Amino acid sequence: MTKLQDDAPAQAGLSDGWDEPRPTALLVLADGTVLEGFGLGAIGEAPGEVCFNTAMTGYQEILTDPSYAGQIITFTFPHIGNVGVNDDDIETVNIAASSGVRGIIVHADVTEPANWRATRHLDQWLKSRGIVGLSGIDTRALTALIREKGMPNAIIAHAPDGNFDFPRLKAEAAAVPSMDGLDLVPLVGTTQRYEWDETTWVLGKGYGRREGAAKHHVVAVDFGVKRNILRLLAERGCKVTVVPPTATAEDILALEPDGVFLANGPGDPAATGEYAVPVIRRLLDEKLPTFGICLGHQMLGLAVGAKTAKMHQGHHGANHPVKDETTGKVEIVSMNHGFAVDRETLPANAVETHVSLFDGSNCGIALTDRPAFSVQHHPEASPGPQDSHYLFDRFVAMIEEEKAKRA
């Protein structure tokens, strides 16, 4: 990790007699700190908020998670890229959107893939998606910096010739806007309504399709939804209709859903809530069974009067312990969020159902006067363990219970 001054030479790390390989990529933090390494992926520059992810597997699912829009991911696990990439593990539904990460930071050089499912090298795949990469730095030190000072804004830059304009990059890094107040959902959400019937992947068979007549109709509000979430709903016999994040309550009610799903997504929930919260409140008044994940959890919290707050370092990984207060069980879950619902602002009709055992932050709520609940983590396990799959069964059971009441 190197701190360079504004009068640093235009060629990173170069001086008279320099005999080491020339750095071809930089991470320039908003405070002027410069980290030198070697480039991979796309050539160019990208701004973003730097976070760290502690997952040891599932880097392709992480890199295609729309919830990471606007962020640069530092992987704490050193051997990223060793299983290559394939077309099956992409989580982004809206491929045409500017979804996913701005950049990737890894410790070790990306090796040739060694996995029977691999179809491409990670470096080639990053280039094709326009994602700038940086390798060869001490990711432990960068992670420690984030833990101490919080998630910094930065510019990640890759130039094969090693020529960088330091004053310009430092000025641009200092000008990267804070995640506070940013509504990034329009970058990743769908703009058109569509239906989904693909089910989960099975060894030797691949992905399946929902069979027979649908048992229930679920409308999913797409704030940046992941494919495996939709697959788990379809696998439970649900007809899934995905609608844009700007869909009105009238648009959704006209589809006559049995339940509503509020998807994951990026950015500041308070900013997205400007247009999403009034819609959710109307749906709650209709007593439609509602299930929210990640940003959807935060949207539900805002809809009942709670507040959200920016976290110091966020939760990003596939190994986070969370306790389900309704059962007393502890589950290991996948996390990806930089904002959290402030439990101190929860109203009387919102019961806390899940708690992070890392820092005690809120990870789930359920309403006592409406058929609605939500969790902060990603229970679809893509990537991550499958401990939380039961939440999809809980949602379907809620739909069936409400159907029975109305009948």
Residue 315 annotated in active site: no
With 0-12 / 13-18 / 19 or more C-beta atoms within 10 angstroms meaning exposed / middle / buried, residue 313 is middle
Selected catalytic residue, list 294, 297, 320, 331 = 294
Residue 121 annotated in active site: no
Cα(383)–Cα(366) distance, rounded to whole angstroms? 25
Q: Do residues 218 and 210 lie in contact, with contact meaning Cβ atoms separated by under 8 Å?
A: no
Residue 378 annotated in active site: yes
Helix axes 295-303, 269-285, angle to 10 degrees: 60
Tokens of 199: 């089910």
Q: Do residues 258 and 289 lie in contact, with contact meaning Cβ atoms separated by under 8 Å?
A: yes
The catalytic site residues sit at 294, 378, 380
